[in-house]
Amino acid sequence: TEEISGITANAYRRNLNAAWNWGKVYLDGMPDIDNPFAIETMPEEPGQKYVPPVDDLMKVFACAERERDRVMLLTMFNLACRPMEMATLKWEDVDLDNKTVRLWTSKRKGGKREADTLEISPDLYQALVKYRKKVEGSEWVFESPRGGHYKSLKDWLDLLCQKAGVKRFTPHALRHLAATELARNGAHPK
């Protein structure tokens, strides 16, 4: 079997702990014992996050045949957004007149859903204007082929990386790449 990291083990433990607590409240027949998952966390030794070079992103972009894929890559890189912030982006949150996008997140203290309004770069603006005409009538900017918004973008980007012949990177790595490029160009960390 494959050994897992402390970070992964702790994520599993948190989910099992939450499921047990939920079951105690909402399910009949749960054993009347203490939560077996309320235990100490494992030591975590975070590894170095892989941030792809800009050249690899450009190779992935060049081999993306579908316009939707190119616009998704541009959106993730230009807005430095989390994958699910992009996957759940609605056209009502895109203000092309003012060249802004409202991104929704639950990653704030307390988990309450909040929005940030970001400016759209000229490249992204042009791509979104053109793309909007092709997906007229859709609520989601990037509607999944199965309808609704994407649930995961990992497989989508894995296929593009494989096609481009570059080391696989995750959708979240594009956020790190955008932050790295902003820092290189003197942007304030906040």
- Residue 59 Cα distances to 17, 55, 90, 122, 168, angstroms: 42, 6, 28, 21, 12
Is the model's pLDDT at 173 over the cut of 60?
A: yes
Is the model's pLDDT at 79 over the cut of 50?
A: yes
Whether the CB-CB separation of 102 and 116 falls below 8 Å is answered with: yes
Confidence bin at 149 (pLDDT 50/70/90): confident
Q: pLDDT, tens digit, for every residue of 107-145?
A: 887 778 899 999 999 999 999 999 999 988 889 999 988
- Residue 168 Cα distances to 7, 59, 71, 100, 165, angstroms: 21, 12, 19, 31, 9
Q: What type of residue is 26? A: Y
Give the predicted TM-score (pTM) of the model. 0.75
Q: pLDDT, tens digit, for every residue of 68-77?
A: 999 999 999 9
